[in-house]
Amino acid sequence: MTASQFRHRIGDTVVTVLDDDGQPLADRDVVVEQRAHAFGFGNIGFDYVPLANGESDALHDQAALWFDVFNTATLPFYWSLFEPERGRPDTERLRRAAQWFADHGARVKGHPLVWHTLAPDWLRELPTAEVEATVRARIRREVTGFADVVDTWDAINEVVIMPVFSNEEQVNAITRLAREKGRIATVRLAFEEARAANPGATLLLNDFDMSTAYECLIEGVLEAGIRIDALGLQSHMHQGYWGEDRTLEVLDRFARYGLPLHMTETTLVSGDLMPPDIDDLNDHQPASWPSTPEGEARQADEIERHYRTLLAHPSVQAVTYWGLSDEGAWLGAPAGLVRADGTPKPAYDALRTLVKGEWWLPPTTLRTDHAGRVEVRGFLGDYQVHHAGRTASFTLATAGRLDHVKGVLR
Amino acid sequence: MTASQFRHRIGDTVVTVLDDDGQPLADRDVVVEQRAHAFGFGNIGFDYVPLANGESDALHDQAALWFDVFNTATLPFYWSLFEPERGRPDTERLRRAAQWFADHGARVKGHPLVWHTLAPDWLRELPTAEVEATVRARIRREVTGFADVVDTWDAINEVVIMPVFSNEEQVNAITRLAREKGRIATVRLAFEEARAANPGATLLLNDFDMSTAYECLIEGVLEAGIRIDALGLQSHMHQGYWGEDRTLEVLDRFARYGLPLHMTETTLVSGDLMPPDIDDLNDHQPASWPSTPEGEARQADEIERHYRTLLAHPSVQAVTYWGLSDEGAWLGAPAGLVRADGTPKPAYDALRTLVKGEWWLPPTTLRTDHAGRVEVRGFLGDYQVHHAGRTASFTLATAGRLDHVKGVLR
C-alpha cells in the first residue's frame, strides 16, 4: 500500500484517542479504518437519475457497485437535453439526483456548462449577442441553483475545436459565438459567470485535444489572467490504451502549468478497438460492439496500469471513468466496468482491488500508547477509530509530513 | 488578366500625362507598361550570397531567372550559421547580399530572428535569464543593423512546437527559454525587441502548424496585446499539393484574425512525394530524389493552381517560394523551379506566365484624350508611361476605386 511512487498520496498522522471526558485512552486496542478517499475516484452518474428520482428501481444493485468504488459523480448538464424547450430546464430532477449522490457520500460534478455539441437548437435562432447573454444566464442559473450540491464544474468543454467545429449540418450557436468572440473571450465569459455564481467552486477547462493546441490554448487563457482551478484531460481510449509512456508524457506536458489535473473522461474498451484512422470518435458506432473475454482481460490489465500511472503522478487530483455499465455506454462501446447484464468485469474487480484494497486501510487493530496515541498511515482521506462501540473520526489531510490530530470517541 | 476573382489586386487609374512644362499631352499615342508588382512574389535568396559578395560568379545566369519572376528575397539569419562563434556574426556578408537584392529592385526579408532549430550550440551553456538577454540583444543587433535594407522579419518561427521540440539529442536553449517562460512571453520578447529596433518593419509570426494549435497560439498572442503585422503560413508540400479546397480552408481560418497572410515557405516537388506517414519532414532525406518529367508536369499544374488560389484570396499579401533551384534544395527534394543543371522546369514557366503574363501589363500603346488622359487598369504596382523617349512613373496603389494621378514625362 505504501509503495514510494504514491508517497504524495499518503498521510502519516498521530491520532490521540480521547474518551468523551477528554482523557487519553491509554494502552488499549482500537480499530482504525479508512472511510473515504480524498482523491477523486469519479464516474458518471447519468444512469442513476431515474433511480434517484424514484422513477425506476432497475439500477438499484448496480448503484451499489458504483458506490463501492467511486466517490465523485459527474452529472449531465448537456444543454439541449437539460433545457430542450427554452425556459423549462430539467432542474428539479437533476437536483434530486445530485442530492441523492451527496446523501450517499459522493461529491458531485456538473458537465459541461458551455459546449458546442448538444447546444439547444432554439439557441441557433438568436443573434450572437443574445446567444452570449443566454449562455451567461444559463451558467449563472445552473451554478447558483446547484451551489449547495455541485462543487465542481466543467466550465467549458473542447474549446480547441469549438470555433471550427464542423461535424454537423448547421453551425451551432456556441461555435458561432466562439468564432465571433474568439476562444479566449469565450473561455473568459464561462469562467467569469461561473466564478461569480459560486466563488468556492472548482472550475475546469476540459478538452480531448492533448496536442500542442491545448497547450497553446491554456497558455493564452492563463496569460489573459483567467483563473482556472484544474485542467481537464479527456482520455477516451477507444482506439487503444495510451500506455504508461504516453500517459506520463501527457501528464508532464500539462502539469507544467502548475494546475491540478483531472482526468475527466476515461474509457478503456473490453472489446475490439476502434480503427486508428477514425478522427472523431462519434463517427464509429458499429451496430454491435461486444465485450469479449480477451478484451475484458486486456481492459483489466490496462485499467490497473492506467490508474497506477495516474495516481503516481503528483499533479493528478481526480480520475473520472466514463460509465459503469456497457448498457447505454457512449458509442455503444463495451467501455463499462460492468457488463450489460449487470455482472462486474475483471476491470471492475481490478479497480476495486486498488481503490478498496491496495490503496485502502481496512479495519485494523492498533494499540494506543501510554498517551493514547496510535500512528495511522494511509491514503489521504477520512478515517475512523473505534473502541467499545464508540467511534471517533479524523482525516489524513497532508502527505509528506507527520500530522497530529485528536479523536474523541462518542 | 482582369478576371473577377483578382479584382482586389487590380487598380484602375486615370493618368494625366504631362509634358515637362506641365501641359497635358493631348491626343497622342503613349506606351504604358508595368514595372513591378505590389504583391510580394518572394523566393529565398540564400544561394546568391556568394554572388552578391563577389565570391563566385557561378549563379549569375540563375540570378537573372530569379529577378525575372521574384521581387522579394528572404535572406537567412539562422543564428547558428550567422554567428557560429559568439560575437562574430556574419553581418557584412549578409548586408552586402541584402544591398545587392535591393540594388536589383527586390525587397528583402530576414528569416528568422528566433527559432529553436539552428540555435547556436554556445547558447546552450548559458542560464535561461542570460539566454533571454542574449536573444534580445541578437534581435536588436540584426533588426537595427539591417533597418535600411530589410523591412520584413520572421520575428519568431514555429512557436507552436517550440517548448516541446524534442527532435534533437540535447535540448536547445530556445526550447528551454520557451518552456520556462511560456510561448506567449517568448513571442512578446521577440516582437518587443524587433519593434523597438525598427518600428517601421513588418513583423511576422511564422509557423508550419496549420491546425487549431496555431489558431490557439494566435488568439492567445493577440489577446495578450502583442501587435503582429502579418501571419506567416508555411506550406512545404513535399507530401503533396494541398489542393484548392484545403488551401482555401486554411486561408479562411487564418484570415479571420484580420491580419495579412504571408505564405512564407512554399514548395511543391517535381518528383516522388514524401510518404504521408513522415511527421517531421526532416526525417525523410533520401540519397537521391530526382526530378521527373511526370513530376515536373504535375508541379507546373499545381504551382499555377496554387498561386491562382492564393492571389484570389484578399488576405494574402505575399507568397514566398522556397528555393529557385534543385541544387542544394532543402532535404535534397526536387522542389526547385529550375533543375540542378540550371534549366527552367515547366513550373518556372508556368509561374512566369502568371507573374509576367496574365497578371502583368506589357508595353501597351494607348491614346491620350484631349486632356492628356489615359486609363490604366492592371495589377497593383509600379508603372511607366513612355512618349518620344521620355518616361513618367506612377503607381496603381488601390483596388476597387478609380484613382487619378499625374505623370510628368522627363
DSSP string, A177-189: HHHHH-HHHHHHH
HSE, side-chain direction, 13 A CA sphere, residue B281: 16
pLDDT value at residue A96: 98
Q: Kindly determine whether residue A217 and residue B221, on different chains, have CB atoms separated by under 8 Å.
A: no
Q: Which of B141, B128, B125, B167 is nearest to B82 (CA)?
A: B141
pLDDT value at residue A3: 64
Mean pLDDT of B244-272: 98
Q: pTM for the complete prediction?
A: 0.94
Chain B contact for A211 (CB, 8 A cutoff): yes
Contact B34, B395 (CB under 8 A): no
Chain A contact for B220 (CB, 8 A cutoff): yes
Q: Kindly determine whether residue A216 and residue B213, on different chains, have CB atoms separated by under 8 Å.
A: yes
Chain A nearest C-alpha distance from B338 (Å) = 37
Residue A212: list chain B partners with CB under 8 A.
Answer: 160-161, 164, 209, 213
Q: Write the CA distances from A275 to A239, A284, A287, B33, B59, integer angstroms.
A: 6, 8, 15, 60, 52
pLDDT value at residue A1: 45
* Sheet of B402-408, strand order: B373-379, B10-18, B402-408
Residue B1 scores a pLDDT above 60: no
- CATH 2.60.40 location in chain B: 3-28+368-408
Nearest residue in chain B measured CA to CA from A222? B220
Contact B115, B108 (CB under 8 A): no
Chain B contact for A128 (CB, 8 A cutoff): no
Mean pLDDT of B78-84: 98
Q: Kindly determine whether residue B212 and residue A164, on different chains, have CB atoms separated by under 8 Å.
A: yes
Q: Kindly determine whether residue B220 and residue A215, on different chains, have CB atoms separated by under 8 Å.
A: no
pLDDT value at residue B167: 85
Sign (positive/negative) of CA torsion A195, A198, A202, A208? negative
DSSP 3-state assignment of B368? coil
Q: Kindly determine whether residue B183 and residue A216, on different chains, have CB atoms separated by under 8 Å.
A: yes
Q: Kindly determine whether residue A179 and residue B220, on different chains, have CB atoms separated by under 8 Å.
A: no
Contact B12, B402 (CB under 8 A): yes
Residue A163: list chain B partners with CB under 8 A.
Answer: 215
HSE, side-chain direction, 13 A CA sphere, residue A180: 12
Ranges of residues in chain A whose predicted pLDDT is under 70: 1-3
Q: How far apart are CA A71 and CA B108, in angstroms?
A: 63
Chain A contact for B167 (CB, 8 A cutoff): no
B409: which strand partners? none
B320: which strand partners? B42
Chain A nearest C-alpha distance from B143 (Å) = 27
- CATH 3.20.20.80 location in chain B: 39-358
Q: Measured between CB atoms, which of B184, B213, B223 is closest to A212?
A: B213
Q: Kindly determine whether residue A163 and residue B217, on different chains, have CB atoms separated by under 8 Å.
A: no
Q: Which residues of A219-233 are buried (b: 16+ CB within 10 A; e: fewer)?
A: bbbbbbebebbbbbb
Q: What is the CATH number of domain B3-28+368-408?
A: 2.60.40
Chain A contact for B382 (CB, 8 A cutoff): no
Range list of H helices, B104-211:
121-124, 128-145, 173-181, 183-197
Instruction: Name the CATH architecture for the domain at A39-358.
Output: Alpha-Beta Barrel (3.20)
Chain A contact for B171 (CB, 8 A cutoff): no
Q: Write the CA distances from A232 to A202, A312, A319, B326, integer angstroms.
A: 11, 18, 10, 48
pLDDT value at residue A4: 82
Nearest residue in chain A measured CA to CA from B215? A213
Q: How far apart are CA B288 and CA A52, in angstroms?
A: 69
Chain A contact for B128 (CB, 8 A cutoff): no
Contact B150, B109 (CB under 8 A): yes
A-B contacts (CB, under 8 Å) = 72
Cell for B185? 512571453
DSSP 3-state assignment of A90? coil
A393: which strand partners? A384
CB-count burial class (<10 Å; 0-12, 13-18, 19+) for B43? buried
Phi, psi of A261 (to 5 degrees): -105, 130
ipTM above 0.85, yes or no: yes
